[in-house]
Amino acid sequence: NEIEENEDATSVSIARGLRRKKVEISSRTVRRRLKAAGYRFSTPLSKPLLTTLHKQQCLRWARLMQHQDWNKTVFSDESKIRSGLVKRRYWQRKGLRKVVRTTKHPAKINVWGCFARNGFGEIVCFPQDLTSKYLCSQIYAKALRHSTRPLFGRDRDFKLLKDSDPKHKSKQSKEWKRKNGIDCLPFLACSPNINPAENLWNILKIRVAMKKPNNVPALFRLIKQEWKKLPLDFWKNLVESMEKRVDALILAEGDYTM
């Protein structure tokens, strides 16, 4: 199988190779046969390079988390949401191209959000860069507290899963969590396909972009609105996917799981 042996093979090169073996076949027929066999011609995924050390760390983390009770975990993350159109495909007549007009300086807002097996927590929108002071005084002290009460009641037997941003590991941040009895799960800077919050942000960004906000106030309002409209079973599916994500990471020996 030339496709398995040479990942750079094309229908033209395969047809040429077969003709050298006295097999008369066109590149079009090769494409049809490949599609029938379950292959598709597409661009490869672009992923950050994982070193051997990164893979070892990811594998070690996955084995450590293999029996974690994800139902008692609060998943939190930050992201940046910009105004603009979602990249999508359109049916168009041959020779015509749809033009998508973009602004030179789109509106953008930083966001922090959290969720658990029981539901979504609060979302915080802020225009400035995140600092340890803002993280502790506004996000941890207010949003996180307000989120965990309805999610877990008075039960403090949960663990916080956050990203590896240095501000989460600052002296001020560690001290706040120690004083308030917040236990954290370890997380990795290079964590291929593991953080379910990435799926959450992707969905939210698409929903916001489809509304076409054209300024910061509109973007701010739509983020809040669309966060509240996210499907009720979405957070449940994200949390339930963690066991499969961890198992897949172990199977991939710490590499990307696709």
- Residue range 113-127: average pLDDT? 93
Torsion of CA 226, 231, 236, 241, to 10 degrees: -80
Compare 106 and 250 and report the one with higher pLDDT: 250
Q: Answer yes or no: is pLDDT of 35 > 80.
A: yes
Q: Answer yes or no: is pLDDT of 46 > 60.
A: no
Q: What percent of the chain shows pLDDT beyond 90?
A: 43
Regarding pTM above 0.85, the answer is: no
Domain boundaries, the chain: 2-36, 52-251
pLDDT of residue 1: 59
- Residue range 130-136: average pLDDT? 94
pLDDT of residue 153: 80
Q: Supply the DSSP string of 40-107, one letter for each residue.
A: ---PPPP-----HHHHHHHHHHHHHHTT--GGGEEEEEEEEEE-SPPP------TT--PPPP--SS--
Pick the CATH number of 52-251 from 3.30.70.260, 3.40.50.2300, 3.30.420.10, 3.30.420.40: 3.30.420.10
pLDDT of residue 105: 63
Q: Answer yes or no: is pLDDT of 126 > 80.
A: yes
- Residue range 126-134: average pLDDT? 92
Whether the Cβ atoms of residue 137 and residue 106 lie closer than 8 Å to each other = no
Compare 192 and 16 and report the one with higher pLDDT: 16
Compare 5 and 203 and report the one with higher pLDDT: 203
Separation of alpha carbons 131 and 110, rounded Å: 12
The string of pLDDT tens digits covering residues 11-33 is 888 888 888 888 888 888 988 88
CA 4 to chain centre: 29
The string of pLDDT tens digits covering residues 72-109 is 999 999 999 988 655 555 555 666 666 666 666 677 89
Average pLDDT value for the chain:
84
Whether the Cβ atoms of residue 247 and residue 138 lie closer than 8 Å to each other = no
